[in-house]
A and B are shown apart, each in its own frame.
Chain A
Amino acid sequence: MSALAFALNLGYLALAFLAPGALSNLFGLGALLYTAFARLSPNARALNLALLTLAFTLNLQRSGNTLGLIGLVGILVALTTLPKIPTWVRALLGLAILLLSVPIAGFANTFIFELGIQIGIYAAMALGLNVVVGMAGLLDLGYAAFFAVGAYTWAIFGSEQAKNFLQGNFPLPGEYMYLFMGIAIVTTAITGLLIGLPALRLRGDYLAIVTLGLGEVVRILANNLDHPINITNGPQGITPVQRPPIDGFRNLMAHLGVPLDRTTDYQLFFYLLVLLMIGLVVLVNVNLANSRFGRAWVAIREDEIAARSMGIPLLPTKLLAFMTGAAFSGVMGVIFAAQRTFVSPESFTLLASITILGMVILGGMGSIPGAILGAAALTILNLDILKTFSEFVRTSFPQLPSQVDPAKYERLVFGLVLVLMMIFRPEGLIPERRHRAEMEEA
């Protein structure tokens, strides 16, 4: 088996070199599946995964085919979930993929950077929602509201928008974005408090409905606060939003011998910034999970009465979870606004909230790698697979009416994915220990 895996992966490496593109990538994905599921010794598996990383990177670099990115995500999943791989191999390969392979692919096809950034932003938010839903068990259907508050916090002051109601020199220079990441933590946490205070007195379905409503209130406010005083510029949205200056970053990259042009420089910058944020968010998530706060959240989720009898106050503890999750989302909102340079209410609809929730559920509630994988899977599905498939259908069957364009069935596919999940793997793709235990009980 070991020999077959090795042969497959070497074959793919050759294919990646000779015939890079979608077909060879499909072969590579097959080889990856075999490597992950065949009985291999840990060392053989580590070696094969390294080989695959190299091959996918090569293919991406030569063809820019986004299936290669799926391969890289697959390798990351294999590295996090498969047993007995030495820790240094996991760390080294993981870092190589995130810091080398993806940027290399991004230079070949800038869409890969875009995908990486979107995945990152959604992954950080899914991790925030994971605190609320996964740990504390509070079903929040209005989570995109916090994303909106964070995005508008910077968009208003990082553009000329603030001139409409404030004296002063607007837009603020781009460096202020970093300060506003901090400010957004405060504004979103306060929003979390305001929404949470009434909503968290309710439970279960009632909480879900109320958060849904309040989330919509935030979006509608953003839509309508263009008069009497123009704060949000209404449905037109705010543009251009300042980005931080990156001269230092450019110089640093030039020193490292990475040539950057006018499109890739900001993309690489935001990609790395988002990566850094995910690192921070994961760290904070793990720390909280292993603290008295994380335990209190899980205790409340499992049994409110028992938790209260242990001296855990209900509302403050739930509010803390809510505000923590909100703050994660707020910071990512600032980055989102700066990266897009454009903010409008359309990005913060109910569907956005549900998509983030879907990421958490798909990955496995309460599971940190699960939330990231869920974000990657749904983002790639929405932005890449469906669009590519559409393209394929349109060119191959031009006689088909445009109503059956697959890209229009995003929600249908999304719904199907969730239904299939609930049937075949209700605990999520990478389940968390406690949730798995609860599922077994049911």
Chain B
Amino acid sequence: MKALEVQGATKRFGGLVAVNNVSLTVNQGEIFSVIGPNGAGKTTFFNLLTGIYAPDEGRIFLFGKDITGFPPDRVAKEGVGRTFQNIRLFGAMTVLENLLVGMHVHIRVPYFHALFRTPLAQREERRAKEEAERLLAYVGLLHRKDELAKNLPYGEQRKLEIARALALKPRLLLLDEPAAGMNPKETEELQAFIQRLRAELGITVVLIEHDMRLVMRISDRIAVLEYGSKIAEGTPEEVRKNPRVIEAYLGKGAAGGAA
């Protein structure tokens, strides 16, 4: 089963082609990485997948359903959770509240029930809180649940952002540079955590990452972007040997540092 299928996605900003005719397929249960030098269009590509931008050309299918042009909230409802390169938590909310926002679409309380806090509303709220606490325990943040998100140390903020995305019960999880700013030990923990997500929750994961050790160890397959175009795709082994990838990262004036 194809979890994600992108056909010829293109996004232009004025004269700049940020994403140029990119096609790729991610199978259900895969851990798939998108790599490329800085400015290669990786985050724009994510923003196309999540509906923050609509593609100028091309189509996007999620588990066979055409979601091209869906706004972000509808993409989220279809089961796509995401994190952001520059962590976007709700800083002035507590850790628990951040998760409850993540569960928004799963808390079924009609407006008038919420207004008068009817038994139905109370029951749903309690259920949601219990579930959020379970999830926090799962990622190891339960002891922080009443702290403000902005007061968490960096590594835990990253974790919380993933937990918030998980609260959505996603079928597809998009992680934008989850290991940024982590030390090798933390990165190793992250790797184990992502693998656990797939094993235990059956979530398909697509990640953007600069840490090549992590990418090579964790990915089933990798796509490489350069100047908005896909220049390679394959297993870590294949990508590592691909001369165009080596050139993009190391040779001939290509900007941006390699791993």
Contact = CB atoms under 8 A, between A and B. Distances in A.
B134 interface: no
Interface string A23-54: 00000000000000000000000000000000
Nearest to B98: A299
Interface in B34-82: 50, 52, 71-74, 76-77, 81-82
B65 to A, nearest CB: 16
Contacts of B103: 292
B91 A310 contact: no
B114 A303 contact: no
A288 B115 contact: yes
A435 B81 CA distance: 27
A254 interface: no
A288 to B, nearest CB: 6
Nearest to A307: B101
A441 B89 CA distance: 13
A76 interface: no
Contact of A287 (B72, B77, B104, B117): B117
A298 B88 contact: no
Contact of B150 (A298, A305, A306, A441): A441
A320 B100 CA distance: 19
A296 B106 CA distance: 13
Contacts of B117: 287, 290-291
B125 interface: yes
Given A287-B114, A287-B117, A311-B77, A305 B92 contact: no
B92 A296 contact: no
B176 to A, nearest CB: 11
A292 B103 CA distance: 9
A310 B164 contact: yes
Interface string B91-124: 1110001001111110101010011110001000
Contacts, number: 104
A287 B115 contact: yes
A435 B90 CA distance: 12
Interface in A423-440: 433-435, 437-438
A293 B125 CA distance: 12
A71 B167 CA distance: 49
B72 A308 contact: yes
A437 to B, nearest CB: 4
Contacts of A311: 73, 76-77, 104-105, 168
A293 B93 contact: no
B111 A314 contact: no
B148 interface: yes
B84 interface: yes
Contact of B93 (A298, A308, A441): A298
> Which of the listed residues B114, B116, B150 has the most CB atoms from chain A within 10 Å of its own CB?
B114
Contacts of A287: 114-117, 121
Nearest to A303: B88
Given A302-B93, A434-B92, A296 B72 contact: no
A295 B100 CA distance: 8
Contacts of B121: 287, 291
Given A295-B97, A437-B150, A310 B168 contact: yes
Nearest to A291: B114
A284 interface: yes
Given A287-B117, A298-B90, A310 B102 contact: yes
B88 A310 contact: no
Nearest to A433: B92
A87 interface: no
A307 to B, nearest CB: 7
B90 A305 contact: no
A437 B91 CA distance: 8
A292 B88 contact: no
Contacts of A245: none
A10 interface: no
B91 A441 contact: yes
B50 A309 contact: yes
B88 A320 contact: no
Given A287-B116, A302-B90, A302-B91, A309 B100 contact: no
B125 A438 contact: no
B114 A293 contact: yes
A312 interface: yes
B93 to A, nearest CB: 7
28 contacts: A287-B114, A287-B121, A288-B114, A288-B115, A292-B103, A292-B114, A295-B93, A295-B104, A296-B104, A303-B88, A306-B88, A306-B90, A308-B72, A309-B50, A310-B101, A310-B168, A311-B76, A311-B77, A311-B104, A312-B73, A312-B101, A313-B74, A433-B92, A434-B92, A435-B92, A437-B91, A437-B92, A438-B91
Interface of B: 50, 52, 71-74, 76-77, 81-82, 84, 88-93, 97, 100-105, 107, 109, 111, 114-117, 121, 125, 128, 148, 150, 164, 167-168
- Shortest Cβ-Cβ A-B pairs, 5 listed: A311-B76, A291-B114, A437-B92, A308-B72, A311-B105
